[in-house]
Structures are given as C-alpha cells and as structure tokens.
Amino acid sequence: MAKDVGIDLGTANVLIHVKGRGIVINEPAVVAVNNKTGQVLAVGTEAYNMVGRTPGDITAIKPMKDGVIADFDIVQEMLRFFLQKLNLKTFFSRPRILICCPTNITSVEQKAIREVAEKSGGKQVFLEEEPKVAAIGSGMEIFEPSGNMVIDIGGGTADIAVLSMGDIVTSQSVKIAGNQWDYDILQYIKRKYNLLIGERTAETLKMTIGTAVRGARTETMDIRGRDLVSGLPRTITVTSDEVEEALHESLKTIILAAKQVLEKTPPELSADIIDRGIIMTGGGSLLHGLADLMSEELKVPVLITENPLDVVAIGTGILLESLGKKKRRFL
C-alpha cells in the first residue's frame, strides 16, 4: 500500500513528509534545465549549487514564485523527481498527497497546485493553508475555541493568520519574504557601492550578519562582486546596520500586515493572543532581532517556534495521521 505524503511546496525549499517516516526530503526548489533540449539536468541541492554558475545553454530555474507555481511543467518535473526518489508508488496504488499553499491564492492557482500533484503521481490530493499547517506543526491547539496567531515567513510569502476552532478567522498574505530580502540587499549594494553581487552572496549576507534592529548587531563581512564602472572584480566590507537599512522597508510591510490582521481580530480572540503570544515560523523568522522588532511594534509577545524551517512539513504529518481517523475539511 502506498504511503500518505505531505508536501511543503515552498518558494525556496521543498520538504516532503512521509507518513510513519517523518521528513525524508528537504531540498532547494531549483531545477537545472538545458535550454536547447529542454532536458532536466539536475533537481534540488545539485541544481541549487549551479545557480549563477552555469554556462549559457543551462539555466537554473526556481519554478515557484511568491508561494505559487510560476512554471507548471518544471514544478511537475521537480515533484515527480522527488516522489520517484522515495519510490512510494506501487503498481496497484498511488500515495495520497497533502500539499500546502499560501492563504490568498486564487482558485486557478489552487487548481494548478492540485493538478501538478496529481500528474506527479498522487491518487487523491488535499490542499491546506500554510499558516494553519504551520500552527499545527508548532504544537498550537488550534482546534480549541481560543485565539492563536501565527506569522509564517517563508521564501516567497509572509502569511499571517489568527486561528480558532480549527479554522482561519482572519488572515493576510504578503509577497515579501526571504527571497525579496535577498533582492533588497542585492539592490542596496548595487545602489550604494556600484557593485553587482549574486543572489547567493546576498543570501549569505542576510544569514551571516543580517539583523532587523539597527545597532543590535555589529558584525561585518567581506563580499566580492563585479564593479559596474570598471567591470572588474572588487571586494567591499558590509556591516550589519547596512543590511538592516536594506531590509527596512520590506520589514515595515510585514509588520503593517500583522497590525491589520490584529485590527480585524474579534476582541475575545485578541485577549487570548495577548496571553499566549504570537508564534513565528518559517526560515524568515530566523532573521536576527525580528521577533524582538515584531514584539515591540505589535505590543504582544512574539516567540519563534522550535524547528521553524520544518514546522509546515511536521504539520502535514500530523494532518495525514488524522486523515484516516476523521474527515477534515480541506480546501
């Protein structure tokens, strides 16, 4: 019998949870393709290592954008590759797949995700909203009649939701998250230093010396890039405060969205959120000082969950367990 599979189909990473085995795949959502033949050359970590380093006839594609499918065929190839690697499909049965999506995607985008999972080998495909699954994976009691708030910052979207009685009461999704932060840093360095750097370098800066609070970190890092004036390689030193300056506007947008969700929350649930605090999940929650900044701006305690990168995949595992026991309502 084929096992049930939970997929966190993220903009930056794909995590796959197999019932009874836990998280078995955690790889970048990148596919390397030969432009001339259209042939897929590498998927996941192998393809990610090629980003910015390929010859002209090979392109490393990120087929997910802002939490939704940007390139249908490539996502299908990527999922098929990962599922074949797991060898779950037997001659007689195919796995049931639970897949996560951002809160505000359209019915057309939902249909595309469902279709791609079916074509990749799923028998039945269930969709569930990402912040809800993240909350379940974090151990929040969302099926109780009390307010829980989660801020899930991934690669493509920041999903903010208040949950009660197992459903989303109010939510908002903004297309600003980890990937946008990398782009902000890249543009900032280009503007300030006339230096062109790659996405990988921008991401390393963010993770190594980045901060959400000015003055909270005083580290520096040397980076190399191409001088836009001379066209030659050049090295510069970047500080933590410069990274904060680059990210400032994007962080303000996420904070504003969280404030709007709180403003729309019924007062009884707001009282619960003040007692329990807000849980932050996703890779973006690991940005230095972000939880403190959120707490200060929202006037509510903000805590980072354990294993923030894995909670959505863990949540799919918990939901898969309940699939057989009782019928949950999915999208």
What's the token pair of residue 6? 């939970």
Helices 199-209 and 178-193 meet at what angle, rounded to 10? 100
Give the annotated binding-site residues for ATP.
Answer: 11-13, 155-157, 203-206, 283-286
Task: Match 């900032």 to its residue by tokens.
Answer: 188
What CA–CA distance (Å, rounded) separates 249 from 229?
Answer: 27
DSSP for 185-205?
HHHHHHHHH-EE--HHHHHHH
Distances (CA, A) of 313 to 29, 74, 279: 15, 22, 16
Name the residue among 68, 186, 40 with its Cα closest to residue 127: 68
Q: The dihedral of CA 240, 243, 245, 249: what is its sign?
A: negative
- Which residue type is seen at 59? T
